[in-house]
Structure 1
Amino acid sequence: MTHTPTVLFVCIHNAGRSQMAAGFLHHLAGDRVAVRSAGSAPGTQVNPVAVEAMREVGIDISHGIPSLLTMDAVQEADVVVTMGCGDACPIFPGKRYEDWELDDPAGQRIDAVRPIRDEIRRRVETLLAELAQ
């Protein structure tokens, strides 16, 4: 990587999937990647079951604050990963976009959130490997 890429994870409430993805990427990449997350209709807090699931793998996302998706956030990102936010994310030429189809952890019990967490980790690891090329 010649510069520090910025990755923006976007979901509806910025309370579960995008927070977990940001937590994984920050944990795995450290300062090699700038990590952001946002939501098209942000919630008031990070999903406590997502926090619990991430804590099980040694990552604390409890201090995350759901943020509103802005045009500036998308413009500043090199990679935009959407997770179920539909057409809410603006498209800018020259950006890399990925749409990760993942179940929403909202309202789910921990045993339903663990497989979502594990799939997010797998995809984040793949993304990080691609960014390193």
Structure 2
Amino acid sequence: MVDLITTRLTAAADQPLPPDAVRALVHQAVTDARHLPTTAAQRALPATTDPHITEMRRQVDRLEALAGDIGRLMLEIAPAYLTDSQAARRLGIFAAEIGLTLEEALADRRYAISGDRRALVGIVL
């Protein structure tokens, strides 16, 4: 992640950067880094010609993307510095309003914080 942020700041360094620009560059670099697969081996799945399996994989990827979007929304309501217990107090009513259980909302929030798909296993995926 340090390399990604350094590269972006170096590319923009031909002029002094105001704090808001640095904040935006770091925020985007962190967001991009969270969505990188950890290793090719962890993301690689056996090849298949079965259209049902291919479609299921596509749906799982779609659920993962949606969980990330919902998780970022949950972080707007309950920032990452809050514990799960503190976040639960803030998210309970909102989660119910949008049709999620509190457990699903917290899992999506953890996924948005970590970028680790395992945060969703057994709850969302």
Give me the TM-score of the superposition, normalised by structure 1. Answer: 0.27
Q: Which has the higher contact order (CA 8 A, sep 6+)?
A: 1
Q: TM-score, normalised by structure 2?
A: 0.28
Which one has the bigger strand percentage? 1
